[in-house]
Amino acid sequence: MAKFIPDAAMDAALAVVAAGNILTVCSAQPTTRTEAITTYKLADIALTPGDGNGDFTIGNGDASGRKLAVAQQADIPIDTSGSATHIAICDGTDLLLVTTCTSQALTSGGTVTVPTFDYEIADVT
């Protein structure tokens, strides 16, 4: 018997992340919501939650499975100077996703742009 997981199950997992309402640029890898929105936060921007609402799109994966595309966030105000190393997405209570970014120095008072990125769940093999 082959392994199988329906697209709807993968989409449900991705929909949890797509419920995020804040994206933060961080100076280290956060492991909690508090670290993402306070301890390591250099810049943040509000997101519109939900698949297809503007900031998130769930669809077919590039190679297999399903993916969540997070839209570019341009001109995010920088609150604290530091070296950006991670991007986090949170909702009102939880840290939902963390990914790395190209390390770059950020200066308070400037802006930063986070390009579109994907989070992908591959089909089982």
pLDDT one-digit tens code per residue, 99-117:
999 999 999 999 999 999 9
Residue 29 sits at φ, ψ, to 5 deg, of: -75, 115
Q: Model pTM greater than 0.85?
A: yes
Yes or no: say if 32 and 17 are a contact pair by the CB < 8 Å rule.
no
Query: Who contacts 81 (Cβ-Cβ below 8 Å, separation ≥6)?
Result: 42, 105, 106, 107, 108
Residue-wise pLDDT tens digits, 59-92: 999 999 999 999 999 999 999 999 999 999 999 9
Q: What is the dihedral of CA 75, 103, 80, 46, to 10 degrees?
A: 40
The domain limits of the chain are 7-121
